[in-house]
């Protein structure tokens, strides 16, 4: 009965291409109040960033060795560097800088299958910070409190792709006073420092643009998902991977006609998202994934299944108004929950998602555009100014412990 009811609602409310309903779909809505204002902030003139010039072994040579780093979901570290080199917020005079940026690519160390290996990242970071502290006075002045680092690993500066190991490691001790710009975000987690800036993972803007379909295409798919439900190599039972949430999606809804879910990744993946009303964004090994970016860009209401997740630019993007949140333990009731959402609520979420400013904030385009993810990062840094005077250390004062951490991290890089 519920399937028939929702088929009727999809036909009547969302239409199958008639002009009136197409116009309704094409309308956009700006979020009212402070969130929308923050989203459209212009950071130029509000901060100055000094970009360290490091030896190429920390960045360019890594990319030359493996150009795949430009296309994976961790590539924000590369594009942020390129953006800042020509950004109007860059200053060549470190004495007038509000922030110091260290261009280092810790995820550009890939396996043959294209996954980043985190094991050299701590040594690379330590090596770069030792260089800063030896050659410039600015790191020692605050021990990194006015520095920021882009660390897009699964669990940020904990530098491991398995949560238990990441928690055991904790954030690299030398980065604990710095501002970390990272994709990982989960409340009350040792891998998220207070004051960190949570960003979206990199998704290729040009590729996504090439797969855009007409805006008046009807959304005839109710729920859409493509991806793993079980990590058969590392967690064949499915109880640990995604904390069992993905396995619960599959076991409960693999035969439900409202759910278009599969492990297949078709060539029409982007087009299919644009034909869907809801797109599932469950956690995997980490709570974040590129599906969140894809859903927002393609106007598909993200169904966020990741308890305690800290979402990208949460002070600027109204996630509660554009998305749907489902607790991991409630996944077996996902169909009941989604079919109970009133059509007028769905339409408003779609109008908000259709706002171009919402989509721009999730992307790292080349060249950069006003309001894009680069600018949202700068906005986040600007909002942390001015630095509290207590971050500046007395001459000779030390806070960080350079000798703590796993023995492997202390080896030269």
Could you report the per-residue pLDDT of 195-222, keeping only the tens digit for each?
A: 999 999 999 999 999 999 999 999 999 9
Structure tokens at 377: 């990062």
Q: Is the pLDDT of residue 345 over 90?
A: yes
pLDDT of the residue at 18: 43
Distance (Å, whole) CA 292 – CA 304:
8
Could you report the per-residue pLDDT of 242-255, keeping only the tens digit for each?
A: 999 999 999 999 99
DSSP string for 93-158: -GGG-SEEE----TT--B-TTSPBP-TTHHHHHHHHHHHHHHH-SHHHHHTTTTEEEE--STTGGG
36 three-class SS:
helix
Q: Is the pLDDT of residue 227 over 50?
A: yes
Could you report the per-residue pLDDT of 131-178, keeping only the tens digit for each?
A: 999 999 999 999 999 999 999 999 999 999 889 999 999 999 999 999
In order of their start, the domains of the chain are 49-202+374-394 (no CATH), 205-363 (3.40.50)
Higher pLDDT, 27 or 413: 413
> pLDDT confidence of 37, banded at 50, 70, 90?
low
13 three-class SS:
helix
Could you report the per-residue pLDDT of 258-275, keeping only the tens digit for each?
A: 999 999 999 999 999 999
pLDDT of the residue at 238: 61
pLDDT of the residue at 113: 86
Q: Is the pLDDT of residue 35 over 60?
A: no
User: What is the pTM for the complete model shown?
Assistant: 0.91
Assess contact for 21 and 10: CB atoms under 8 A: no
Count CA within 13 A, CB hemisphere, residue 348: 11
């Amino acid at each position: 009965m519920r399937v028939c009811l929702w088929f009727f609602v999809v036909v009547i409310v969302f239409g199958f291409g008639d002009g009136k309903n197409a116009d309704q779909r094409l309308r956009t809505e700006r979020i009212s109040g402070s969130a929308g204002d923050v989203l459209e902030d212009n950071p130029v003139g509000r901060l100055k960033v000094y970009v360290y010039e490091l030896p190429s072994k920390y960045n360019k040579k890594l990319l030359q060795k493996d150009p795949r780093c430009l296309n994976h979901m961790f590539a924000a570290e590369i594009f942020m560097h390129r953006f800042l080199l020509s950004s109007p917020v860059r200053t060549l005079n470190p004495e007038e800088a509000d922030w110091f940026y260290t261009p280092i690519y810790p995820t550009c160390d890939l396996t043959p299958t294209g996954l980043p290996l985190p094991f050299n990242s701590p040594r690379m970071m330590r090596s770069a910070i030792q260089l800063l502290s030896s050659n410039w006075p600015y790191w020692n002045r605050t021990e990194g409190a006015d520095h920021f680092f882009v660390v897009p690993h699964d669990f940020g500066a904990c530098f491991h792709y398995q949560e238990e190991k990441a928690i055991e490691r904790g954030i690299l001790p030398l980065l604990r006073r710095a501002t970390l710009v990272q994709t990982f975000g989960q409340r009350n987690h040792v891998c998220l420092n207070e004051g960190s800036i949570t960003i979206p993972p990199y998704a290729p803007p040009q590729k996504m643009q090439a797969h855009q379909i007409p805006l008046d295409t009807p959304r005839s798919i109710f729920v859409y998902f493509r991806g793993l439900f079980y990590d058969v190599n590392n967690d064949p039972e499915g109880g640990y991977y995604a904390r069992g949430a993905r396995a619960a999606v599959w076991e409960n809804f693999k035969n439900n006609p409202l759910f278009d879910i599969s492990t297949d990744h078709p060539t029409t993946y982007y087009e299919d998202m644009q034909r869907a009303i809801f797109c599932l964004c469950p956690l995997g090994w980490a709570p974040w994934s590129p599906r969140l970016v894809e859903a927002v860009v393609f106007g598909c209401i993200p169904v966020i299944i990741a308890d305690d997740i800290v979402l990208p630019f949460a002070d600027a993007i109204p996630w509660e108004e554009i998305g749907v949140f489902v607790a991991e333990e409630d996944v077996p009731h996902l169909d009941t929950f989604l079919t109970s959402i009133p059509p007028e609520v769905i339409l408003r979420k779609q109008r908000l998602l259709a706002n171009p400013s919402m989509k721009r904030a999730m992307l790292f385009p080349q060249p950069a555009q006003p309001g894009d993810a680069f600018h949202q990062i700068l906005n986040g840094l600007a909002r942390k100014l001015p630095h509290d005077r207590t971050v500046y250390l007395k001459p000779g004062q030390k806070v960080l412990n350079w000798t703590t951490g796993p023995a492997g991290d202390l080896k030269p890089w």
